[in-house]
């Protein structure tokens, strides 16, 4: 009996998918056997611009020929341009960015900055929250099966029910350094934070002099119909974690904060590859494209219509359809794995969020016909209401 070759990624959940993808353009992915798929989430939220956006490709090619890597101790015009572009999209209270290489690192930096700047230990996060898998970020992540094998985790992390302002308020006290939340929970099942909850998080942090961080690794850069999801509730955090789509698919993480908080930060934090010219060139191109083509507006328009359409799925099989922009969760009354399998057979790649939620994170540039075909495939597989 032949054993399939291991690809070195066996620790990752994604590697359980047997499909081998070799090429991509926009929302189309091509498998090794030549079959074409429509990406309804296969890029795990790192593909707001789809695969191989031509402007990002050109920027990477040009930068690779100039300078791929530079230690962060040196000035870099492309890094300067990228940071100026990013900060220009954010409220003026922001002004400092720590660049790293992934979402978990962006959260890790937020935790370190908050502990150091406040001199306090406690981090308040939420049930169902997902913030990454390095030990600090994992300590803020909720799911037991992700945490248990690695315990003891970092002390002083507490979790409260999401969308419960009173519980959050009760958990925040003079020992609290940071309240850390996703404005829309992604991995936890696509739960949209209410304006009231996000505002109460701001108020609770202010009440005790703690900091508020929004983890927008998945929600950022237009995904929810605004450039940043915190804009929906008009709640500005002290720290913002970004990654995934920030550099058009090139690894990057960013922790954004204010000059005042940076000044309170004692100690040091650093990443060799953080802020490298290649990622910054890709990031600059990705941000320019996102703004110029109003991709947040497109996500809002396409997402609103998709949600409306999916709300007609049959209630015998679907408990709830929820989401914001092109971040959509369909909570089933059954396990999601066979539905994902059936969609894949029809040429559509989507994601789970837990055992029963079908999650859609299509590229914001997806052709309307491809999106419509994807929704039709979902209707065929789950049934029409
Ligand atoms: C909200 C959120 N935070 C953090 C992470 C971790 O990002 P990364 O896998 O780049 O470390 C993810 C990844 O899915 C995420 O969705």
Q: How confident is the model at residue 73 (pLDDT cuts 50, 70, 90)?
A: confident
CA distance linking residue 260 with residue 117, whole number of Å: 10
Q: Is the pLDDT of residue 4 over 80?
A: no
Strands of the chain, DSSP E? 21-25, 28-31, 36-39, 96-100, 122-126, 157-160, 176-181, 184-185, 191-192, 211-215, 239-242, 253-257, 318-324, 327-332, 348-349, 351-352, 357-360
Q: Is the pLDDT of residue 269 over 50?
A: yes
The arithmetic mean of pLDDT across residues 173-181, rounded, is: 99
Q: How confident is the model at residue 42 (pLDDT cuts 50, 70, 90)?
A: confident
228 lines ligand 1 (CB under 6 A): no
Q: Please give the pLDDT value at position 7.
A: 55
Q: Is the pLDDT of residue 15 over 50?
A: no
Q: How confident is the model at residue 104 (pLDDT cuts 50, 70, 90)?
A: very high
Would you call the peptide bond into 165 cis, given omega within 30 degrees of 0 as the criterion?
no
pLDDT tens for each residue of 331-346: 999 999 999 999 999 9
216 lines ligand 1 (CB under 6 A): no
pLDDT tens for each residue of 241-252: 999 999 999 999
Considering the candidates 39, 53, 215, 238, report the single residue annotated as catalytic. Answer: 215
Domains, the chain, in order of start with CATH, read: 13-53+295-382 (3.90.1150.10), 54-292 (3.40.640.10)
- Distance (angstroms) between ligand 1 centre and the Cα of 104 equals 6
Picking from 132, 161, 125, the residue whose alpha carbon sits closest to that of residue 147 is 132
**Sign of the CA dihedral 113, 114, 119, 123?**
negative
108 lines ligand 1 (CB under 6 A): no
Question: For residue 18, with 0-12 CB atoms within 10 Å meaning exposed, 13-18 middle and 19 or more buried, which class applies?
Answer: exposed
- Distance (angstroms) between ligand 1 centre and the Cα of 354 equals 15
Both tokens of 134, joined, read: 């390095």
User: Position of tokens 């593909």?
Assistant: 47
Q: Is the pLDDT of residue 161 over 90?
A: yes
**C-alpha pair distances (Å), 129 with each of 21, 161, 174:** 29, 10, 23
Q: Is the pLDDT of residue 1 over 50?
A: no
Q: Is the pLDDT of residue 69 over 50?
A: yes
Picking from 226, 223, 231, 284, the residue whose alpha carbon sits closest to that of residue 254 is 284
Q: Is the pLDDT of residue 314 over 90?
A: yes
* Residue nearest to ligand 1 atom 3, measured at CA: 131
- Ligand 1 pocket test: which of 126, 218, 230, 353 has the largest number of ligand atoms within 8 Å of its C-beta? 218
CA distance linking residue 62 with residue 196, whole number of Å: 46
Q: Please give the pLDDT value at position 332.
A: 98
Q: How confident is the model at residue 18 (pLDDT cuts 50, 70, 90)?
A: confident
- pTM equals 0.96
Q: Is the pLDDT of residue 16 over 60?
A: no
Both tokens of 64, joined, read: 């690779």
Q: For this structure, is 85 an active site residue?
A: no
Q: Please give the pLDDT value at position 17.
A: 60
Q: Is the pLDDT of residue 13 over 70?
A: no
If you average pLDDT over every residue of the chain, what do you get?
95
Q: Percent of the chain scored above 90 by pLDDT?
A: 93
pLDDT tens for each residue of 196-212: 999 999 999 999 999 99
**C-alpha pair distances (Å), 207 with each of 8, 125, 179, 199, 263:** 48, 17, 12, 12, 21
């Amino acid at each position: 009996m032949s054993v399939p070759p291991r690809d070195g990624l066996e620790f990752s959940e994604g590697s359980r998918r047997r499909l081998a993808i070799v090429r991509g353009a926009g929302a189309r992915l091509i498998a090794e056997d030549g079959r074409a798929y429509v990406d309804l989430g296969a890029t795990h939220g790192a593909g707001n611009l789809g695969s191989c956006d031509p402007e990002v490709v050109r920027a990477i090619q040009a930068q690779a020929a100039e300078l791929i890597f530079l230690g962060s101790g040196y000035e870099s015009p492309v890094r300067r341009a990228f940071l100026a572009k990013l900060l220009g999209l954010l409220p003026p209270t922001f002004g400092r960015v720590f660049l790293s290489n992934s979402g978990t690192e962006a959260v890790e930096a937020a935790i370190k900055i908050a502990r150091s700047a406040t001199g306090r230990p406690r981090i308040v996060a939420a049930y169902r929250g997902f913030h990454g898998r390095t030990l600090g970020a994992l300590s803020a992540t909720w799911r037991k099966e992700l945490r248990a094998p690695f315990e003891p985790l970092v002390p002083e992390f507490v979790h409260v029910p999401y969308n419960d302002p009173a519980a959050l308020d009760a958990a925040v006290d003079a020992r609290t350094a940071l309240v850390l939340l996703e404005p829309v929970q992604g991995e936890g099942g696509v739960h949209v934070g209410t304006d009231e909850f996000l505002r109460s998080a701001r108020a609770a942090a202010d009440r005790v002099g703690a900091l508020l961080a929004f983890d927008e690794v998945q929600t950022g850069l237009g995904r929810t119909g605004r450039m940043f999801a915190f804009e929906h509730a008009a709640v500005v955090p002290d720290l913002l974690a970004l990654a995934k789509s920030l550099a058009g698919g090139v690894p990057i993480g960013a922790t954004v904060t204010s000059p005042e908080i940076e000044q309170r930060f004692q100690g040091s934090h650093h990443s060799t590859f953080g802020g490298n010219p290649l990622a910054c060139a890709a990031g600059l191109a990705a941000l320019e494209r996102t703004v110029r083509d109003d991709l947040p507006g497109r996500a809002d328009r396409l997402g609103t219509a998709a949600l409306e359409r999916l709300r007609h799925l049959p209630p015998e099989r679907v408990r709830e359809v929820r989401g914001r922009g092109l971040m959509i969760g369909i909570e089933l009354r059954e396990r999601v794995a066979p539905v994902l399998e059936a969609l894949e057979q029809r040429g559509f790649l989507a994601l789970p969020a837990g055992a029963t939620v079908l999650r859609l994170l299509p590229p914001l540039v997806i052709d309307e016909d491809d999106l419509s075909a994807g929704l039709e495939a979902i209707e065929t597989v789950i049934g029409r209401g």
